[in-house]
Amino acid sequence: MSRVWQTWYTSFTPMEYEIVIGLEVHVQLLTKSKMFCTCSADYASTPPNTHVCPVCLGMPGVLPVINEKAVECTTMTALALNCTIPEHTKFDRKNYFYPDLMKGYQISQYDAPIGRRGWLTIDSDGSKKRINITRVHLEEDTAKLLHRGDSSLIDVNRSGVPLMEVVSEPEMSSPEEARDYLVRLRNILRYLGVSTANMEEGSFRCDANISIRPVASKEFLPKVEVKNLNSFKSVYQALKHEAERQRKVLGEGGELVQETRGWIEETGTTVTQRTKEYAEDYRYFPEPDLPPLVVDPAWIEEIRAKLPELPDARRDRFMAQYGLPLYDSNILTGSKGMADYFEDCARLVGPGKAKMASNWLLGDFSRLLNATNTEIESAKISPEHLADMLALVDDGTISGPTAKAVLEEMFQTGKAAGAIIGQKKLGQISDAGEIKEVVKQVVSDNAEAVADYTSGKQQALTFLVGQVMKATRGRANPSVVREIIMQELGGK
Ligand SMILES: [Zn+2]
Which tens digit of pLDDT belongs to each residue from 255-265?
A: 998 999 999 98
What pLDDT band is residue 13 in, cutting at 50, 70 and 90? low
Residues with CB under 5 A from ligand 1 (ion): 37, 39, 53, 55-56
| Cα-to-centroid distance, 157 and ligand 1 (Å) | 8
| CB distance 15 to 250 below 8 Å | yes
Share of the chain above pLDDT 90, in %: 66
pLDDT digits (tens, 9 = 90+) for 107-121: 999 999 999 999 999
| Cα-to-centroid distance, 38 and ligand 1 (Å) | 6
| Cα-to-centroid distance, 140 and ligand 1 (Å) | 11
For residue 11, pLDDT beyond 60 = no
| Cα-to-centroid distance, 277 and ligand 1 (Å) | 29
| Cα-to-centroid distance, 281 and ligand 1 (Å) | 28
Average pLDDT, integer, range 441-461: 89
| Cα-to-centroid distance, 161 and ligand 1 (Å) | 9
| Cα-to-centroid distance, 78 and ligand 1 (Å) | 26
| Cα-to-centroid distance, 155 and ligand 1 (Å) | 13
| Cα-to-centroid distance, 189 and ligand 1 (Å) | 25
| Cα-to-centroid distance, 52 and ligand 1 (Å) | 4
CB atoms < 10 A from the CB of 243, how many? 21
| Cα-to-centroid distance, 50 and ligand 1 (Å) | 10
| Cα-to-centroid distance, 479 and ligand 1 (Å) | 71
For residue 302, pLDDT beyond 50 = yes
| Cα-to-centroid distance, 51 and ligand 1 (Å) | 7
First to last CA, the chain: 77
Q: What is the pLDDT of residue 1?
A: 46
| Cα-to-centroid distance, 35 and ligand 1 (Å) | 9
Higher-confidence residue of 39 and 402: namely 39
| Cα-to-centroid distance, 94 and ligand 1 (Å) | 19
Measured CA to CA, the distance from residue 103 to residue 105 in angstroms comes to: 5
Phi and psi of 205, rounded to 5°?
A: -125, 145
Task: Give the pTM.
Answer: 0.80
Helices 175-192 & 311-322, crossing angle to 10 degrees?
80
Share of the chain above pLDDT 70, in %: 95
Q: What is the pLDDT of residue 419?
A: 84
What pLDDT band is residue 14 in, cutting at 50, 70 and 90? low
Q: What is the pLDDT of residue 366?
A: 95
| Cα-to-centroid distance, 489 and ligand 1 (Å) | 86
Give CA separation, 124 vs 175, 226, 292, 330, in Å.
10, 22, 40, 12
| Cα-to-centroid distance, 44 and ligand 1 (Å) | 15
| Cα-to-centroid distance, 23 and ligand 1 (Å) | 30
Q: What is the pLDDT of residue 126?
A: 74
| Cα-to-centroid distance, 287 and ligand 1 (Å) | 18
Element (H, E) at 92: strand 92-95
| Cα-to-centroid distance, 89 and ligand 1 (Å) | 24
| Cα-to-centroid distance, 43 and ligand 1 (Å) | 11
Measured CA to CA, the distance from residue 138 to residue 75 in angstroms comes to: 10
